[in-house]
């Protein structure tokens, strides 16, 4: 991939030049999209002084050089040795709490700049599921000082309201991911790489968004275990887990009980103690009522 930066007038000139190679695109952040001799050229709209044009394909460098006499700089992105497959500016998201019966869902999207990627690796940013909670807190506290992020938290009372409107877990996740990503995309519309840790197909993801009035983030790349491939997803998983742990601490303090994770026998035992102490009405606010576990607990008391 090769990226060049041009003036607004130069961007318009390029759009004119590539008009006969244009490809239809429905994205408010893209002025033109073209495919010429196997090279995809994307011209981005931005409020910044210079606009970004990205060339992708085997002959991306050659195509970019057609414009090198008219601008001062063009650059071919060079890989950084981090183990991640994309080391350029990027936006990505991840979630936590989906399978936790008594705990909220948290979705976090992060904007990661190329110059910060090595720092992420040095901090130990990885899949949050492979890191202890104490280490998560240590890393996240440093991350949030320089990584821009958008966080959405869905407490279980709100979760139950949404599920009552015929939502399902994946549709809720799709809408939360889209909103978190959009919060960053509108600030950084020139960002090319947008990634989500895959939980459903791309087609299904966008189908879930069809009944939403909110803008849809286009051209998302979906990848299973995305945190292993993209630093933005890895950073999102760390901050999401950290935020999730803070929510657990709030619940522990509010009810003076230690809330368990997951959906298992210890969770059922805790739930019965909670109901005995606070009543069924309060329990219905902190539990995911659509889970089979909820019915099992109610039937057993």
Categorize the per-residue pLDDT at 23 as very low, low, confident or very high, splitting at 50, 70 and 90. confident
Categorize the per-residue pLDDT at 2 as very low, low, confident or very high, splitting at 50, 70 and 90. confident
Neighbours of 138 (CB within 10 A): 15
| Whether 16 and 124 share a structural domain | no
The pLDDT of residue 128 is 74
Count up the domains in the chain and report the number.
Answer: 2
C-alpha to C-alpha distance for 286 and 260, rounded to whole angstroms: 12
Classify residue 277: in a domain, yes or no.
no
Indicate which CATH number applies to the domain containing 17.
3.30.310.10
- Residue 152's contacts (CB-CB under 8 Å, 6 or more residues apart) are 106, 107, 108, 176, 179, 180
What are the CA-CA distances from residue 148 to residues 24, 94, 151, 216 (Å)? 31, 14, 10, 20
Categorize the per-residue pLDDT at 257 as very low, low, confident or very high, splitting at 50, 70 and 90. very high
The pLDDT of residue 199 is 93
Backbone φ/ψ region at 279: left (φ over 0), alpha (ψ -120 to 50), beta: left
Q: Where is the domain boundary, 47, 76, 105?
A: 76
The pLDDT of residue 25 is 81
Q: Encode 159-195: b = buried (16+ Cβ within 10 Å), e = exposed.
A: bbebbeeebebebbbbbbbbbbbbbbbeebbbbbbbb
Q: Which domain holds residue 149?
A: 90-251
| Whether 159 and 39 share a structural domain | no
| Whether 69 and 131 share a structural domain | no
Neighbours of 47 (CB within 10 A): 8
| Whether 34 and 179 share a structural domain | no
Q: Where is the domain boundary, 76, 110, 129?
A: 76
| Whether 177 and 143 share a structural domain | yes
| Whether 35 and 158 share a structural domain | no
| Whether 106 and 184 share a structural domain | yes
- Please give the structure tokens belonging to residue 41: 């050229």
Nearest alpha carbon to residue 126 among 113, 112, 136 = 136
pLDDT tens-digit series, residues 73-111: 445 445 455 678 888 999 999 999 999 999 999 999 999
pTM of the model: 0.77
Backbone angles phi, psi at 37, to 5 degrees: 50, 40
| Whether 242 and 121 share a structural domain | yes
- DSSP conformational letter for 22: B
| Whether 67 and 154 share a structural domain | no
Classify residue 268: in a domain, yes or no.
no
pLDDT tens-digit series, residues 258-291: 999 999 999 999 999 999 999 999 999 999 999 9
Per-residue pLDDT, averaged over 227-256, amounts to: 96
């Amino acid at each position: 991939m090769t990226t060049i930066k041009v003036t607004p007038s130069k961007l318009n000139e390029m759009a004119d030049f590539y008009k006969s190679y244009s490809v239809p695109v429905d994205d408010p952040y893209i002025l033109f999209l073209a495919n010429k001799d196997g090279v995809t050229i994307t011209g981005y709209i931005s409020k910044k002084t210079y606009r970004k044009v990205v060339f992708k394909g085997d002959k991306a460098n050659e195509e970019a050089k057609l414009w090198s006499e008219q601008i001062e700089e063009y650059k071919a992105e060079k890989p950084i040795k981090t183990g991640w497959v994309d080391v350029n500016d990027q936006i990505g998201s991840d979630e936590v709490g989906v399978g936790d019966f008594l705990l909220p869902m948290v979705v976090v999207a992060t904007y990661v700049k190329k110059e910060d990627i090595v720092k992420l690796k040095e901090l130990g940013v990885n899949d949050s599921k492979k890191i202890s909670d104490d280490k998560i807190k240590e890393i996240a506290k440093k991350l949030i000082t320089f990584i821009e992020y958008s966080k959405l938290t869905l407490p279980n009372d709100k979760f139950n309201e949404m599920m009552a409107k015929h939502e399902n877990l994946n549709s809720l996740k799709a809408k939360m991911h889209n909103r978190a990503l959009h919060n960053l995309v509108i600030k950084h519309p020139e960002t090319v790489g947008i990634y989500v840790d895959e939980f459903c197909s791309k087609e299904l993801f966008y189908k879930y968004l069809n009944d939403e009035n909110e803008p849809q983030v286009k051209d998302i790349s979906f990848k299973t275990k995305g945190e292993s491939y993209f630093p933005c997803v890895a950073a999102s998983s760390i901050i999401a887990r950290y935020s999730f742990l803070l929510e657990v601490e709030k619940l522990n303090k509010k009810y003076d009980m230690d809330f368990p994770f997951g959906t298992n026998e210890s969770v059922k035992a805790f739930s019965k103690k909670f109901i005995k102490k606070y009543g069924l009405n309060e329990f219905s606010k902190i539990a995911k009522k659509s889970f089979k576990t909820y019915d099992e607990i109610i039937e057993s008391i």
